Amino acid sequence: MNADERRELWEGLCAVEDYLGGGPKKARALPDFSAPEAPEESLGTIAAEVRACRACRLCDTRKNAVPGQGPSSPLAMVVGEGPGAEEDSSGLPFVGPAGKLLDKMLASIGLSREDNCFIANVVKCRPPLNRDPADDEREACLGYLERQIALLRPKAILCVGRVAAGALLGTADGVGRLRGAWRDFGGTPLLVTYHPSALLRDESYKRPAWEDLKLFRERL
Ligand code: URA
Ligand code: SF4
């Protein structure tokens, strides 16, 4: 609403109040119609908050926060653990070797970050030496991911790796136990699969990961 629309609404409400009051026009102090509104929630406003965020210790060692990347009305979302070295340098998610593999996995089921898939992480700043994010760091950061999911409303979420799955599902179970069946994250269907970096380390994960991708595609 702009200043003119605000003034019009105010005048209308005053007229209603005078009418209902049945008396003469009440004297009122004129409000400041130019007062700025809270910015509407968007990918951009969330990203700006993430880049300025100092809610946990990871802000002290990051080069760049990594809010996420993708279209504003995606079909699907991928959620990883947190930025690594390349992501920290570039400010973009999944751009290192694991990211290249992730892009190929997504392409095999018709998804891409350019078109129809938003890519994000549980923590938006790189943990030093790529250690697992601590409980308090994940808790401090999870609100941003929840806001992204609420805004983007993907049809399904692909959660890659044990750490991301643990953060979203509140479990210590490994991927081997969690994969292969649909889960729920706040009303959004969620599928757990192996992290692409695990696939780079161990070829034997490739077949089950492909089964998971096919299951994911069926849902979309
Ligand atoms: N691994 C992740 O979990 N996320 C990234 O963004 C990059 C690597
Ligand atoms: Fe803020 Fe998340 Fe970065 Fe911590 S990891 S400083 S909570 S954006």
Within a domain: 34: no
Give the total number of structural domains in the chain: 1
Within a domain: 25: no
Distance between Cα 78 and ligand 1 center (Å): 10
Q: Please say whether the beta carbons of 82 and 126 come within 8 A.
A: yes
Does ligand 1 come within 6 angstroms of the Cβ of 212?
no
Within a domain: 28: no
Q: Flag whether pLDDT at 33 surpasses 90.
A: no
pLDDT band at 173 (very low <50, low <70, confident <90, very high): very high
Mean pLDDT of 78-82: 98
Pocket test residue of 132, 197, 199, 201 for ligand 1, highest count of atoms within 8 A of CB? 197
pLDDT band at 26 (very low <50, low <70, confident <90, very high): confident
Task: Pick the more confident residue, 182 or 7.
Answer: 182
pLDDT band at 211 (very low <50, low <70, confident <90, very high): very high
Provide the domain limits for residue 211: 55-219
Name residues whose C-beta falls within 8 Å of residue 163's C-beta, 6 or more positions apart in sequence: 81, 82, 122, 132, 133
Does ligand 1 come within 6 angstroms of the Cβ of 81?
yes
Q: Flag whether pLDDT at 23 surpasses 90.
A: no
pLDDT of amino acid 35: 72
Angstrom distance (rounded) from CA 150 to CA 202? 34
Q: Flag whether pLDDT at 136 surpasses 80.
A: yes
Within a domain: 77: yes
Does ligand 1 come within 6 angstroms of the Cβ of 84?
yes
Within a domain: 78: yes
Work out the mean pLDDT of the chain and round it to a whole number: 95
- CATH at 180: 3.40.470.10
Within a domain: 24: no
Within a domain: 4: no
Within a domain: 192: yes
Residue nearest to atom 3 of ligand 2 (CA): 125
Atom of ligand 1 nearest to the CA of 86: 7
pLDDT band at 98 (very low <50, low <70, confident <90, very high): very high
